[in-house]
Each structure stands twice: as C-alpha cells, then as structure tokens.
C-alpha cells in the first residue's frame, strides 16, 4: 500500500511539473452559467497555442466519472470534435494508450494522436487522469497531421452534498500550420463543449454505481494517513 501511495504521489507531482511549468496566469475566457462551466487560458513559454482549463461542478460520483472516461466506445459522443477513438493497448486497469482523430474545419487537415492515460487516486478520493502524447507509438497516416505533443488531464474532486468538481486541462501542439482564428477558438471551444456534453452524458444509467479496484485499494491509505 505504501508503494501504491508513493506511486500516486509521484505521478501527480510529475503531472503538475509537466503541465504547469513556464506558464503565465490564468485568464477567464468564457462561462456557461446554466451548467456552471468556466474556461480559462494562459500563455505557455515557447508555444503559440495557449493552455486551457475548464472547470465545472456536477452532482454525481467520482466513480461515475471514471466509468465515463473508461467508456471508450462512446467517447466520440461527448469529447468535442473527436471523430475516432480506439484503445491501442490496455496495459492495466489504470493505464492505456488511445488513438484518436480530431476533426478540423475545412480546409484544415484533421489531426491524429496516440495518448497514454494513467489513472491515480489519493487518500482524499481525488482521482486524476493524466494524459501525454506518444507521437511515435504508431505509424503515420497520410490522411492526418500527427500531433507532436499533448500534456494534460482530468481531475475529479469530491465536494459536499454529492457534488464533484471536474477540471479538464490540456496544452497541446496540433502540429502543422494552423490559422490564428482556429488556434484561438480551439482552446476555448474544446473545454466548453466537452464539459457541456459531459453534463448530459454522465446522467446515463450505465455509469452509475460502478466500482474500480484501484479506487478500492486506495481506501486503506486514508486510515494510514490519519
């Protein structure tokens, strides 16, 4: 159990260093008052594309949100502009590599990516899904532009009265050459639409009352921490 807790801490610390280094302060870009969604962006040193962070609160459970993330079949139903989503390697219950294709407006070429995702949980029940692109994992497809880098993830934090705070944060390099209007729209539209769709998708019965071994195994760490 100590090794599990140490691994969790190390992964989360590495994620924070990876995503948040060399970045400016957050700027509020858009809100959806009906669904309580806020989207922020900030500059990242050495990159023309801003990092985004979308935040919302949902009355659900952390396990339901984990079930939603692990439902690869329906990912295209709620992840904005994702038109193809396939698991390439299921390494464990908490780690996988996914291939996805992101749709871009004509005449911009669609982007594809291979992303490694790792789920961790801390002693307070906060679940983090970290994401990192692995552009050389699979062969190039001449129909698409391969995304050379992506860092980010999801964080699900339990709140009072059955609420969960959801944070969706990503900084990516889409590769190739993109017009400024598209670059500026991606970092606001993507988290806003994805979180809005998540509010609708999470209500499905199939995501409710699910349990996951990695979350159950972390519970004894709460007693040790006390």
pLDDT digits 0-9 by tens, 146-161: 999 999 999 999 999 9
- pTM for the model stands at 0.86
pLDDT tens digits for range 130-146: 999 999 999 999 999 99
Give kind and range of the element (H or E) at residue 70: helix 62-70
Please determine, for residue 2, whether its predicted confidence score (pLDDT) is greater than 70.
no
Lowest mean pLDDT segment, chosen from 76-80, 95-99, 104-108, 154-158: 104-108
> What is residue 105's predicted lDDT score, i.e. its pLDDT?
85
pLDDT score of 1 more than 50: no
In the predicted structure, residue 79 carries a pLDDT above the cut 60: yes
Give, in order, the Cα–Cα distances in Å from 209 to each of 58, 64, 66, 206, 212: 16, 7, 11, 8, 10
Whole-number Å distance between alpha carbons of 90 and 79: 20
Question: In Å, how far are 54, 105, 174 from 144, measured between CA atoms?
Answer: 27, 13, 11
pLDDT at position 23 is: 57
pLDDT of residue 106: 83
| 3-state DSSP assignment of residue 25 | coil
Band the pLDDT of 183: cuts 50, 70, 90: confident
C-beta of residue 113 within 8 angstroms of C-beta of residue 88: no
Mean pLDDT (the chain) is 87
CATH architecture label of 2-81+119-132+148-225: 2-Layer Sandwich (3.30)
Exposed/middle/buried for residue 2 (C-beta within 10 Å: 0-12, 13-18, 19+): exposed
């Amino acid at each position: 159990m100590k090794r599990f807790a140490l691994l969790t801490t190390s992964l989360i610390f590495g994620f924070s260093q990876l995503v948040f280094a060399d970045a400016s302060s957050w700027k509020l870009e858009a809100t959806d008052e009906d669904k309580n969604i806020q989207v922020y962006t900030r500059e990242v040193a050495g990159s023309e594309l801003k990092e985004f962070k979308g935040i919302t609160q949902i009355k659900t459970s952390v396990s339901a949100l984990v079930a939603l993330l692990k439902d690869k079949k329906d990912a295209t139903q709620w992840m904005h502009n994702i038109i193809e989503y396939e698991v390439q390697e299921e390494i464990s219950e908490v780690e996988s590599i996914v291939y996805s294709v992101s749709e871009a407006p004509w005449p911009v070429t669609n982007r594809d990516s291979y992303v490694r995702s790792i789920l961790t949980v801390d002693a307070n029940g906060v679940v983090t899904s970290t994401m990192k692109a692995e552009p050389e994992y699979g062969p190039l497809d001449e129909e698409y532009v391969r995304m050379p880098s992506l860092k980010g993830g999801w964080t699900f934090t339990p709140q009072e009265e059955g609420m969960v705070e959801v944070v969706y944060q990503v900084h990516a390099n889409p590769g190739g050459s993109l017009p400024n209007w598209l670059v500026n729209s991606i970092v606001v539209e993507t988290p806003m639409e994805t979180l809005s769709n998540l509010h609708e998708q999470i209500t499905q019965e199939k995501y409710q009352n699910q349990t996951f071994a990695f979350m159950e195994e972390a519970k004894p760490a709460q007693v040790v921490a006390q």
